[in-house]
Amino acid sequence: MTPDHIVLGVTWYVVFLFSTTLHEAAHAFVAHKLGDSTAYQGGQVSLNPIPHIRREPVGTVIVPLVSFAISGWMIGWASAPYDPFWASRHHRRAALMALAGPAANLVLVLAAALAIRAGMSAGAFYPPPSISFSQVTAARGEATALVAPLSILFTLNLILFVFNLFPLPPLDGSSVLPIFMQPATAERYRAFLHQPMFSLLGMVLAWNLFGPVFRPVHTLALNLLYPGVGYQ
């Protein structure tokens, strides 16, 4: 393991921790504003990662580090508690809470994209000949120090945004569907979601579907970031 690899790993972890913390803080903040203060009382309406790490040490520490060691990029999870009785009484509010996390990730994708475009306008950044998860842009001079953080911020949050919108339990997208259901149907659906076996099956299915879904989304995002370059 080289010093450059260690620096890249630290960069990935800092961006991962910030992104997942913001994702869960967004869930907690919207739930609090809509009547469920469970996560707020647990200290999770905060960008301080410590409450999130304490709640999910495996998903926020072990899995990200292991996934980086194996694949060169990080994945993991965190979670914000909520009152299931509140969610069963207020399906639309619960859906808005669920959407808040992916929305926070989309904001970070756009922030990274705007920073890259600003760097291009200043002549510091330019489209790289090839793309990786850790290199979405290329730079000249001192701006090279910003390539990895901005690239990872863009890529990781696009991954989190797309993956969490899958309408499969236990992902956020599955909690949006009750908006379109009658109350009795929504209640039966929520009971179905909370069965551990279906959550496990949902994660396995989502992971297998992710590659075919994410690749065209990633390519589209890159071509919107760099119009005319024609990444494939």
Work out the percent of the chain whose per-residue pLDDT is above 90: 82
Averaged confidence pLDDT in the chain? 94
- Per-residue pLDDT band for 199 (boundaries 50, 70, 90) equals confident
What's the confidence (pLDDT) of residue 190?
78
Which tens digit of pLDDT belongs to each residue from 29-60? 999 999 999 999 999 999 999 999 999 999 99
Which residues neighbour 14 within 8 Å (Cβ) at sequence distance 6 or greater? 149
What's the confidence (pLDDT) of residue 180?
80
User: Distance between CA 137 and CA 222 in Å, rounded?
Assistant: 10
- The alpha carbons of the chain give a radius of gyration, in whole angstroms, of 19
Q: Is the pLDDT of residue 191 over 80?
A: no
Work out the percent of the chain whose per-residue pLDDT is above 70: 100
What's the confidence (pLDDT) of residue 1?
77
Asked if 176 and 99 count as a contact pair (C-beta separation under 8 A), the reply is yes
- Per-residue pLDDT band for 192 (boundaries 50, 70, 90) equals confident
Domain boundaries, the chain: 3-225
- Using DSSP, state whether 1 is helix, strand or coil: coil
Structure tokens, 153: 């911020």
Overall average pLDDT of the 206-224 stretch: 96
Q: pTM (2 decimals)? A: 0.94
What's the confidence (pLDDT) of residue 123?
96
